[in-house]
Structure 1
Amino acid sequence: MDCRVFTDELAKLSLLQGVNQADLKWLLHHCDVIHMEKDQVLLSPDEDNNTIYILMDGRLTVQFDRQRGGMLTYVDKGGWVGEMSVIDNMRPSATVMTDTKVRLLAIHASIWWELIERSHIAARNFLRAVSLRLRQDNKLITEGMQKQLIFSEKAQTDSLTGLRNRYWLEEKLPEILGAQDAGLAPCSVVMMDIDHFKDFNDRHGHLAGDSVLQNVSTVIRDNLRENDAAVRYGGEEIILVLPETNTDNADLIAQRLGRLIRENKVETYDGGVLPAVTVSIGVYTITNGDTSERVLSRVDAALYIAKNAGRDRVMVWEAS
């Protein structure tokens, strides 16, 4: 690889475009041209940096939060890195590595600032370049946050039913309990279980069972308020979180959902119609000082009472 850099190469760079030949020759006289092999670290958040590197040949990778596999982007021929460290006199915010063999023009901060003093065109180019870089970084951050939100959403959603999963509940329930202790409106929790679901699967097959779960979930989702949440807690158990809902209203909601599920037709994947299913339902309204374990234990106890009382009914947990 030819390690030399010439003024006509510099003149083609957006960072130096329009700068006169005399200033370009002066810059080359005061800079170093370096080359590096593939997979070498150029900049690191662990090391100080006082140099702007212009990439004359090859490609660099830029990775934010490298240890945790953060966002990765590339710098191609004609691009540059290190300018933010030169501006704010802080360590780099990302790890920059060589993705190929590279040839770099290394410009020390003192030399760069002197060039800015010598050339108003260089100053204008630099201002535009930093502005574009900030826009690009903001775009990457925004895209990264959006992807993280999507991944987080998928990680907390049950793939079969589209309902939240128990990991969401485990994360959300302590927040709900904290709000309850702060004196906000009561929140009720409902737990329902599809009656005789194992027997249904044995008679009609697991694909039919999946159809039932999806159908019941759709009925629930279509008949909840915007702030309510439905969670597939495990198997055929579904938990509803009903903010700003006292015991009486939670009982009414549960009774209505039980009736809608009982009356709803369940179609198979091939268009057939399956027997209707029913659900047993327990209701518990959170009180001050409750823990997640106590809430789940009490609503489960109410569900157990509903099953023992003949199923296809709603039972509200009451303190003995």
Structure 2
Amino acid sequence: MKIIGAFGASRYTIRELELFRDADTPAVAALLAACPVVKVAKGEPVEDGLRARLYVVLSGSLGVQPATAAGEGEIQRVLPGESVGEQSVLDDAANLDAITALDDSELLVIEPALVWRLIDEGNGVARNLLRLLSFRIRAANALLRRRQKLGEFYRQLSMNDGLTGLYNRAWLNDMLPKLVARSRMDRSPLSLVMIDLDHFKRFNDTHGHMAGDTALATAAAVIRSALRPSDFAVRYGGEELMAILPNTNRTLAVMVAERLCARMREAVVFDDMRIALPHLTGSFGVASLGAEQDERSLVEAADAALYRAKEAGRDRIHV
């Protein structure tokens, strides 16, 4: 960054600068006349960027990467007539934003004490500054809302299984303790149904994993469509699925498992019925939250019941 002269001797006029629009009075002109104009080469950082200074772009452009967005590749472009550094001057704090010339640029540099004199002596400068800061706040709020929506999208994406669309183990590990705690607080029943697709490994080995994925997605759709809006369907792992049933006692949970078991047998996986195993069956283990159980022991109880269903011949329910 190299000083090439003073603003009063430059080819630029005050009315071209947004901060001084409708405020180009003789008093403002006199205060700005001695302010230095510096030249910054393309790609060069603005020196003393950590200092509280106001930089007005006279030509070229600057790129500003906010400190809060470091590493995210988020750069705000500052064009001729626009300025940067207002907030650091008003806060009397170091400017932590990274400021770099995107083109060969000429900048008007205004020190903090002079900024305050301009505000005190020119109502137009104060109005323009308020308008500028208001715009910056609105833009920052809009960016924050977009980030929140994007963050929620990715959070939801990370909580769902990509193949089946059901919730995944990460969701289960986060939510099941909360559902157990709510059940305790409300003194309401909570039940689990563990589901294992019968002979799924054999099917995968015979027909390939793509056909296996189709069968698994079909089973997930059966479970999801048979549950209430207040229930939750989870891919526990591999071919193991789970239904979480809030406000459901053991008797009702068995009825839900029976409905799932019947619908699983009826589901058509492939249009070509010549393919072996055109229908699915599943083994079901049902458990309800006991007085001394936590989420881990509840899952273990449902898993033990599932194991007994498989040992008894599959395509059935055990409690």
Q: Is the 8 A contact 2:4 2:36 kept in 1?
A: no
Quick one: percent identity of the two aligned structures? 34
Map of 1:278 onto structure 2 = 281
Amino acid at match of 1:53: Y
- Rate the CA distance shift 1:88–1:187 in 2: closer, same or farther, 3 A: farther
Map of 1:156 onto structure 2 = 159
Map of 1:31 onto structure 2 = 35
Tell me how far apart the structure 1 counterparts of residues 291 and 101 of structure 2 sit (CA, whole Å).
Answer: 57
Q: Does 1:305 align with 2:308?
A: yes
Cα-Cα RMSD? 2.8
Q: Is the 8 A contact 1:60 1:98 kept in 2?
A: yes
- Rate the CA distance shift 1:176–1:35 in 2: closer, same or farther, 3 A: farther
Tell me how far apart the structure 2 counterparts of residues 254 and 280 of structure 1 sit (CA, whole Å).
Answer: 10
Q: Is the 8 A contact 2:282 2:316 kept in 1?
A: yes
Q: Is the 8 A contact 1:41 1:95 kept in 2?
A: no
- Rate the CA distance shift 1:54–1:188 in 2: closer, same or farther, 3 A: farther
Q: Is the 8 A contact 2:3 2:38 kept in 1?
A: no
Matches within 5 A, 1:98-247: 98=100, 100=102, 102-247=105-250
Cα offsets for 1:84-125 (capped at 9, x unmatched):
333344565x63331536543332333222212222222221
Tell me how far apart the structure 2 counterparts of residues 165 and 52 of structure 1 sit (CA, whole Å).
Answer: 51
Tell me how far apart the structure 2 counterparts of residues 41 and 158 of structure 1 sit (CA, whole Å).
Answer: 47
Normalising by structure 2, we get a TM-score of 0.85
Tell me how far apart the structure 1 counterparts of residues 33 and 197 of structure 2 sit (CA, whole Å).
Answer: 80
Report the alpha carbon displacement of residue 126 of structure 1 after superposing the two structures with TM. 1.3
Q: Among residues 263, 266, 269, which one is paired with 2:266 in the alignment?
A: 263
Tell me how far apart the structure 1 counterparts of residues 247 and 46 of structure 2 sit (CA, whole Å).
Answer: 55
Cα offsets for 1:191-224 (capped at 9, x unmatched):
1010111111223222211111111111222222
Tell me how far apart the structure 2 counterparts of residues 42 and 238 of structure 1 sit (CA, whole Å).
Answer: 59
Q: Which has the larger radius of gyration?
A: 2
Report the alpha carbon displacement of residue 71 of structure 1 after superposing the two structures with TM. 7.3
Q: Is the 8 A contact 1:262 1:276 kept in 2?
A: yes
Amino acid at match of 2:22: G
Tell me how far apart the structure 1 counterparts of residues 293 and 44 of structure 2 sit (CA, whole Å).
Answer: 54
Amino acid at match of 2:35: C
Q: Is the 8 A contact 1:190 1:241 kept in 2?
A: yes
Unaligned runs of 5+ in 1: none
- Rate the CA distance shift 1:188–1:70 in 2: closer, same or farther, 3 A: farther
Amino acid at match of 2:249: N
- The more displaced of 35-44 and 150-159 is 35-44
Map of 1:77 onto structure 2 = 79
